[in-house]
Amino acid sequence: MYTTIEADILDGVVVSKDAARFPKSARVLITFIDNPQDGPQKRKPDWEKIQSNLDKLHLRVDTVAWQRELRNEWHKS
């Protein structure tokens, strides 16, 4: 069973008005959402990572010819 609560983290401690209902121990998944008081947090892109991956996006084969070759193999069997 999953239960969703709303809480804040203050100085590394989870603080919630529902804290009295927390179990003594549990496994949790935490999703961080933007704090509306702080406004949306903008992350700057890591251009070094982007640049290093650009070459991987280039097509290395003629995709139309590759598809035709595959289809020819299917028809031979």
- How do residues 2-19 score in pLDDT, each as one tens digit? 778 888 888 888 888 887
Nearest to 5 by CA among 33, 38, 39: 33
Which pLDDT does position 73 carry in this prediction? Answer: 85
* 14 secondary structure, DSSP code: E
Q: How far apart are CA 71 and CA 50, in angstroms?
A: 35
Please calculate the CA angle 26-27-29 and round it to the nearest 5 degrees. 130
Which pLDDT does position 41 carry in this prediction? Answer: 65
Helix, strand, coil % (nearest 5) of the chain?
35, 10, 55
CB atoms within 10 A of CB 15: 10
